[in-house]
Amino acid sequence: MAEIQNVDKTEQGKTFAAIDLGSNSFHLTLAKFEHENIQIQGVLKHRIQLAAGLNKYNKLSKESIERSVECLKLYGQRLQGIPPQRVKALATYSLRKAKNSREFLREAEKALGYAIEIISGTEEARLIYSGVAHYEASKEKLLVIDIGGGSTEFATGKGFITELLDSLQMGCVSFSTRFFPDGDIKKSGFKRAVTAARLEIVSIEDLYLREGWDEVIGTSGTIESIFYLLKERNWIDDVITADALKKLKKEFLQAGKVENLNLTGTSQNRREIITSGLAILIGIFKSLKLEAMRISDAALREGILFELLGRSHNEDIRDKAIQGLRDRFHVNVNQARRVGNTAKKIFKMVKKDWELDKKEYRQLLRWASTVHEVGMALNYSHQQKHGEYIIRATDISGFSIQRKNQLALLVRANRRKFPLGLFDVLEHEDERIKLIRLARILRLAVLLNHRRRDGIKIPQCIEVENRPHVNIESEQGKDSMSLFFPKHFLKEMTLVAADLEQEKQFLNKVGFTLDYC
């Protein structure tokens, strides 16, 4: 495993926790950072099979939610006393797909005692790659593959830098239900499962074959279980091969049913889905013309742990991702800087009264300031709407779906009419109030920088000769804001005065107060 460099020494010996709410199983991994490495302290695993709990309307069954809640209550007991910044719980395919994910999260977060984030498929692939890259410390170009319960992730990269990231809707739980009902293993069902897998892979096949790789690594339970089955039969040494997979397929077809298979050492949880996992893996080998695959002990949970350590010592991949989004859509860097600086200073003035002291609020405001004009790449007059769409539709490394939606709301609300109704989608009232307050700060920062110039003597919430150009006051627990300008300022800066009057009217229409003099 690669050593972890430059981690704050105060993190030595502290416990970190990663929770993976997978489509097949839930996992809790406890670890400590010691001697420049992550040391695993304990692992809990429970079979939940969320993917099997999705009905034809993509709604999770009551039973699957209850199983999940009971499991998370147990995990919550093990996590007691660990600060939230050292705990990360991520949900994957089944929660991405579930229409009632908000209902699930409401009960699940209460049981766990910590926030649960739903991540996109590409973000899942990135974290899996990160876990493998840190553990393998390989200098080769890698293709990493993880067959999960509801989806299969693919990633290529070299060192810690990813190149391709994809998530396909094929998983061992969903394929088991479709092609091997009641544990029946029929030739026709196996053929259809392999074909279905290859049809999914068609969308990425040519790109990956052109990109190429030096070594293929498989991760997680399904591929590991297949590896050990092949090893027990003395069909392989250290890598999975295409020939060995053909032999295993033949054995499975001869058995006819899962209960007739010789699966010594394979857990009951894995037995029921191993056939579909084998079919998917054979489809991958055929489509990507693989000759061999080595396995790794690392996967999503290890990627989460490394991400937590990175954030603990100011190496947050989300900052780089936001900068990448800014550059991709040619956002004016200087204007983003001006708005960001103003927003930061307004934030300092109101954070106590508006209860915005948490680091996550500062970060969210900073990111929104950086990309608030991203929509201008499409159209000026409706830039805030285009910006919201771009952020929701773009994969941003390190961002959960919930966090990305929060960022999109701030960008949507940065100008023109205040879209108060859009904030109703937020599940928690406290979260809704705080995000509205952040939006108001961003709006004021944008307004005060309409002239888009440095060095202009306009209110920047900065001190000049120990006297602020503008003082901003807020009331504790109330969504009111008062601005006090130097004498004669508004008479001289008529455009600023006009902008403030318009903003006051926009806010009054949705019940907020903005006073200035």
pLDDT computed for residue 460 by the predictor = 41
Q: Tell how strand 292-296 and strand 467-468 pair up.
A: unpaired
pLDDT computed for residue 474 by the predictor = 61
Q: Over the range 438-462, which residues count as b (16 or more CB within 10 Å of their CB) and which as e?
A: bbbbbbbbbbbbeeeeeeeebbbbe
The Cα–Cα gap between 252 and 278 comes to 10
pLDDT along the chain (517 residues), means of 10: 50 85 94 79 92 93 96 96 94 96 96 96 96 89 96 95 96 93 95 98 97 95 93 94 97 94 78 94 98 94 88 72 94 95 91 90 96 94 95 92 95 95 90 95 92 59 37 66 82 87 92 87
The Cα–Cα gap between 447 and 340 comes to 12
CA angle in degrees (0–180, nearest 5) for 353-356-361: 160
Alpha carbon of 497 to those of 80, 223, 469, 482, 509: distances in Å? 52, 65, 15, 14, 19
Q: Which residues pair with 162 in a beta bridge?
A: 157
pLDDT computed for residue 434 by the predictor = 94
The Cα–Cα gap between 353 and 343 comes to 16
- CA torsion sign for 332, 336, 337, 342 is positive
- How much is the pTM? 0.84
Q: Which amino acid is at 239?
A: V
Domains of the chain from N-terminus onward? 9-120+303-309 (3.30.420.40), 122-298 (3.30.420.150), 316-460 (1.10.3210.10)
The Cα–Cα gap between 501 and 368 comes to 24
pLDDT computed for residue 1 by the predictor = 53
